[in-house]
Structure 1
Amino acid sequence: MITRLKLDDDSPRPLAFYLAAEEWAAADVVSDDDYFMTWRVGPTVIIGRHQSLEDEVDTAYCRSHGIDIVRRKSGGGAVYADMNNIMFSYIAFPKPGESIHDTFCRFTAKTAHLMQSLGVDALVSGRNDLTVDGCKVSGYSYLAGQRRHIIHGTLLYDVDVEVMGRALTPQRAKLESHGVASVRSRVTSLGRYLDMPVGEFRRLAEERLSDSVRLVTPAEEAEIRAIESSYYRQGWLEGRRHVAERHRCRVPGDGWLTFSVARDRSDMVESVTVTGDAMTPVDLSQVLTCDLRGRKADAREISRRLAEIH
């Protein structure tokens, strides 16, 4: 059973509110259902947990154009969203023997099947994208919750590719590794293939991808807002500062990651900070720091350990 979570007032909230709602739903003990949500937000850039803000986002452009910037707790890459896009959230229990990646694939396939049922030749592509005619229309990431897994993504319905291209500034090496010249050249809008406004498609998706509806109560919304505050705490958006030596390594399935190593006066590891659009349910920086603190690990050993835990 997939139950759609519905707010009493559907006016747009800050994006951090919806991320908090996912966390709240993942931990919910009132029901044993899987949950589904759709939502839209004002112009916002969302960066992955491990990404470097300065490498991925033109912060000056975003500030001057009223574009909010939020760091989510799941991995993956940076995305742009506005009221012409739809955000999908699946908050689901894993099936017996199912990994978080299996749960992820199960629900991205549901979204692809929805598009196919409407005559759009959508395909699950790469590690986390849905594509039409070879161009990306949706990208997903995932996070392991307390009881349920969180799978969420952005569906580009009528995206302003000019604004998206200005707001997002991925490293050229990353684009070249995907064989594309720019953000603009690798995306398209689902609305180009469907003769319906974004709101109508959203309603149709809600009907077809859920079995029932649960209204979020005012008391539950207050619980969500308490979680939302964690996204505004000092230092969360900026992320960990890079210090000392920096290295890049290529991880199969995830492309290039950067790790920075802080060492003490005896050349022992004090901390390791990983940045990049890694798709992983764990905090890579935290795991590496715990594993290697107090050891004289070189870049090769750290790269090898990163590949192992990833």
Structure 2
Amino acid sequence: MPGGKLVAVDLEVADGLLRDVRVSGDFFLEPDEALDLINAALEGLPAGLDAKDFAARVRAALPADTVMLGVSAEAVGIAVRRALAHASDWRDHDWRLVHAEPQDPALHMALDQVLAGEVGAGRRPPTLRVWEWAGPSVIIGSFQSLRNEVDAEQAERHGVTVVRRISGGGAMFVEPGNTITYSLYAPDSLVAGMSFAESYAFLDDWVLGALGDLGIKAWYQPLNDIASTNGKIAGAAQKRLAAGAVLHHVTMAYDIDATKMTQVLRIGREKISDRGIASAQKRVDPLRSQTGLPRGQIIDRMIEHFRARYGLTDDLLSEAELRAAEKLAAEKFTDPSWTARVP
């Protein structure tokens, strides 16, 4: 359970019904009898119910004075759904790390699509890729209007390349040295039984642990933000591919040029004022000011946290992957018909 404890469930399915249900974990639950009530509430339920239905049955079976710490009815429902979907866990996979030299924004977009497809096809192990940027960019979501999000004249004046990614969500303003971006490419079994909203919290949980190691108290803020007491630290986006993979990528603010950002992004013309710039700075909480650490050191600490938690082997892009991404960047991600597919 993100931010909580382990919730596990063992069960059988007979004639489409749950049998021999046993919930366990390192959570805290009072009174002791509540665990028996949870198991009894799940016993005999149809296996086709969704996580919310299972959670509702658990919630209805518990007395009002039940104390649940590190566990919830919703977490039990998700655990049941994941058991039924034969979901995998982080440590079931041989995670690889790709941290290459700076690359153009369009190539980053293409690598996301190519590497997610390779993982889905089983030709690449699940991978954490840390991005390095060759130039400033605005990355707009798959469904955003280009002209509503970006001031083309200001983008050209500042040398900012505009690209469109394959995932949804909002526009991100990035500059080399001021941004930390990473992608996770995983088989869809890792998020099996989870809704999009549930999987955001699940896939971002390790980042909260890494930030905690850096002395930053951060939390997941639905639907797709990571925040601290001073404001937003990062924004995430996700796409599940038909090939059987999930792409989850996150952009974190190490530092921010709020003046340039508010000129390039159409956050609202009123936000170009001094008051608006101050508002943008307050809304985004850079890691540099919170940690006092160099960007590279923060990235190293994040990687080591992931490695200690799930295992991680250093890796490189294959020649075939890089060629496929370069071809896709040329044919799709630098093509105006894609970038302006929502004008």
TM-score under structure 1 length normalisation: 0.69
Matches within 5 A, 1:268-287: none
Change (3 A) 1:85 1:46: same
Distance apart, 1:127 and its partner CA: 0.8
Q: Aligned equivalents of 1:82 and 1:34: distance in 2?
A: 27
Question: Who is 1:77 aligned against?
Answer: 170
Distance apart, 1:105 and its partner CA: 2.0
Question: SS state of the match for residue 95, structure 2?
Answer: strand
Distance apart, 1:32 and its partner CA: 6.5
Question: Who is 2:102 aligned against?
Answer: 12
Q: Aligned equivalents of 1:107 and 1:18: distance in 2?
A: 20
Q: Aligned equivalents of 1:209 and 1:2: distance in 2?
A: 12
* 1:233 and 2:335 correspond: yes
Contact 1:4–1:206 (Cα < 8 Å) also in 2: no
Question: Who is 1:152 aligned against?
Answer: 249
If you compute each CA radius of gyration, which structure gives the higher value, 1 or 2?
A: 2
Question: SS state of the match for residue 324, structure 2?
Answer: helix
* 1:192 and 2:295 correspond: no
Question: Who is 1:54 aligned against?
Answer: 147
Q: Aligned equivalents of 2:147 and 2:131: distance in 1?
A: 27
Contact 2:288–2:295 (Cα < 8 Å) also in 1: yes
Q: Aligned equivalents of 1:56 and 1:25: distance in 2?
A: 27
Question: SS state of the match for residue 124, structure 1?
Answer: strand
Distance apart, 1:55 and its partner CA: 1.2
Unaligned 5+ runs, structure 1: 174-179, 242-310
Would you say how many aligned residue pairs link Structure 1 and Structure 2?
234
Distance apart, 1:89 and its partner CA: 0.5
Contact 1:6–1:216 (Cα < 8 Å) also in 2: yes
Contact 2:197–2:222 (Cα < 8 Å) also in 1: no
Question: Who is 2:180 aligned against?
Answer: 86
Structure of higher RCO (CA pairs closer than 8 Å, 6+ residues apart): 1
Q: Aligned equivalents of 2:326 and 2:197: distance in 1?
A: 29
Question: Who is 2:83 aligned against?
Answer: none
Contact 1:75–1:143 (Cα < 8 Å) also in 2: yes
Question: Who is 2:131 aligned against?
Answer: 39
Contact 2:200–2:223 (Cα < 8 Å) also in 1: no
Q: Aligned equivalents of 1:204 and 1:181: distance in 2?
A: 30
Q: Aligned equivalents of 1:124 and 1:240: distance in 2?
A: 29
Unaligned 5+ runs, structure 2: 1-92, 271-276
Q: Over aligned residue pairs, what C-alpha RMSD do you find?
A: 2.4
Q: Aligned equivalents of 2:280 and 2:185: distance in 1?
A: 29
Contact 2:98–2:128 (Cα < 8 Å) also in 1: no
Contact 2:209–2:305 (Cα < 8 Å) also in 1: no
TM-score under structure 2 length normalisation: 0.63
Distance apart, 1:2 and its partner CA: 5.3
Give the AA of the match of 2:290. Y
Q: Which of 113, 116, 125 lines up with 2:212 in the alignment?
A: 116
Matches within 5 A, 1:83-232: 83=176, 84-94=178-188, 95=190, 96-145=192-241, 146-171=243-268, 182-210=279-307, 211-229=312-330, 230-232=332-334
Contact 1:55–1:171 (Cα < 8 Å) also in 2: no
Contact 2:110–2:329 (Cα < 8 Å) also in 1: yes
* 1:27 and 2:122 correspond: no
Runs of 4+ in 1 over 6 A off after TM superposition: none
**Offset from partner CA, 1:40-60 (integer Å, 9 cap, x none):** 212111111111111111111
Q: Aligned equivalents of 2:263 and 2:336: distance in 1?
A: 26
Contact 2:115–2:321 (Cα < 8 Å) also in 1: no
Q: Aligned equivalents of 1:160 and 1:240: distance in 2?
A: 27
Distance apart, 1:65 and its partner CA: 0.9
Distance apart, 1:31 and its partner CA: 4.7
**Taking every aligned residue pair, what percent have the same amino acid on both sides?**
27
Q: Give the structure with the larger helix fraction.
A: 2
Distance apart, 1:182 and its partner CA: 4.7
Change (3 A) 1:134 1:172: farther
Question: SS state of the match for residue 105, structure 1?
Answer: helix
Give the AA of the match of 1:183. A
Contact 1:27–1:148 (Cα < 8 Å) also in 2: yes
